[in-house]
Structure 1
Amino acid sequence: MASIVQFENVGLRYGTGAETLSDLSFSLAPGAFYFLTGPSGAGKTSLLRLLYLAQRPSRGLIRLFGEDIVTLPRHGLPALRRRIGVVFQDFRLVPHLSAFDNIALPLRVAGAAERDIIAPVSEMLDWVGLADRARARPATLSGGEQQRVAIARAVIARPEMLVADEPTGNVDADMANRLMHLFEALNRLGTTVVVATHDVQLLSRVSAAQIMRLERGTLNDPTGALRFPPRASA
């Protein structure tokens, strides 16, 4: 597959207002790492919503895993969504499930046997520093702990693409570094990673990452043909 994502002249409008995103044309390569940056209100979250199929564009073409999602029947969307891990800015944990069961959810949805769930979920809890909080429900967790559970849930099934909206916004610097190492490890296994962030310090932590910058709903390439060549290592 030449690209895992392809946008051609994509626009997004909510209601009858002005377009939130305009004339986006770009492709994302399989196994690449991208940072999505830009000021507040630039449209980063809206672009992520298009990537993880929470929103369809108002115009233009989007291909994801080779499928045209604009014309794809609604019943075909769940299968594509299962190939994507998502870290939401507001976490979206299931309130009545423990941290363990929230993280295990993608594996159970995929049909994994219970005997095959315990070890990877326990390992992930340990990685994000929550081994002693496995049975805690979201309401008893701090914001940073909920963020770590949300990230663990997003990566547990080794998705083909990971989309993360401000994934380090509620954790300290040491945990932010640890989480970025987790994203890098997943990326090395072949997952395409897209991280939206305001934290400019993150941009230097992944030497192979490519940077996409949104300004007022458009990417900062007037040719509309962004391919984001890798940045030089520091």
Structure 2
Amino acid sequence: MANIVQFENVGLRYGTGAETLSDISFTLVTGAFYFLTGPSGAGKTSLLKLLYLAQRPSRGIIRLFGEDAVMLPRKRLPGFRRRIGVVFQDFRLVPHLSAYDNVALPLRVSGMREDVIDEPVREMLAWVGLEDKAAARPSTLSGGEQQRIAIARAVITRPEILVADEPTGNVDPDMADRLLHLFGTLNRLGTTVVVATHDFHLLNRIPEAQMMRLDRGRIHDPTGSLRFPPRRPEA
């Protein structure tokens, strides 16, 4: 299987303090599903920021899609970022836009014509069970509904990588299962999925998922192998 992400001896330091992440090395393969776990403060969000190019490392090498992402020219960053879908902990919906327009936003940014936007947006709203909330503004939606709109927006472009930071933190257990099913469906269509979570009840919901654990800013690697291929379901 082709490698889609490679970290080599990556470190991240904010300001002049101690490193938040130290000597992070791993490889993710195309089309696999990963859970990123670890206690609060372990550095999960910081690692995800490096993965979706919101933060540059203090040292080390990051390769995405076979290219050096650290040395990538600034003019190429938007094109790279469009290949990565992100579900943020705090949703980051545009408050003055309707649910429909929030989901449609990535398609419009990519230059898709208005006459072909409606069908995929309606399908995506139905996929997350919010087709009846298309006209609603984010402020009128519950936290769980906002999370589902954020997920619909992140996956509508069928990204090559989906990064989700605690995506089930604001929904009930039934909806958490439903969202994981959506991620699993997207993964089976070929998207590499990375879900950061502290909810260990979720970890067995995707049998083929591989586990990555962060502890005190370092990857915990009990197998001695820093390559994370997809885990095969048990017979």
Give the TM bin, normalised by the shorter chain. over 0.9
CA distance in structure 1 between the partners assigned to 2:43 and 2:227 by the alignment: 19
Deviation at 1:221, TM superposition (A): 2.1
Q: Structure 2 length normalisation: TM-score?
A: 0.96
Amino acid at match of 1:85: G
SS in structure 1 of the partner of residue 16 of structure 2? coil
Report the RMSD for the aligned CA atoms in angstroms.
1.5
Amino acid at match of 1:179: L
CA distance in structure 1 between the partners assigned to 2:208 and 2:225 by the alignment: 20
Deviation at 1:159, TM superposition (A): 0.2
Q: Deviations over 1:66-100 (max 9, x none)?
A: 12111111111111000000000000001111000
The equivalent residue for 2:184 is 184
Q: Structure 1 length normalisation: TM-score?
A: 0.96
CA distance in structure 2 between the partners assigned to 1:133 and 1:214 by the alignment: 37
- Equivalent pairs counted in the alignment come to 234
Deviation at 1:2, TM superposition (A): 2.5
- 1:37-48 equivalent positions in 2, closer than 5 A: 37-48=37-48
Q: What runs of 5+ residues in structure 1 fail to find an aligned partner?
A: none
Q: What runs of 5+ residues in structure 2 fail to find an aligned partner?
A: none
Deviation at 1:201, TM superposition (A): 1.1
Contact 2:207-2:233 at 8 Å conserved across structures: yes
Amino acid at match of 2:102: N
SS in structure 1 of the partner of residue 56 of structure 2? coil
Q: Check 1:222–1:233 CA distance in 2 against 1; reply closer, same or farther (3 A cut).
A: closer
The equivalent residue for 2:106 is 106
CA distance in structure 1 between the partners assigned to 2:137 and 2:11 by the alignment: 39
Deviation at 1:218, TM superposition (A): 0.2
Identity of aligned residues (%): 78
The equivalent residue for 2:146 is 146
Q: Check 1:13–1:223 CA distance in 2 against 1; reply closer, same or farther (3 A cut).
A: farther
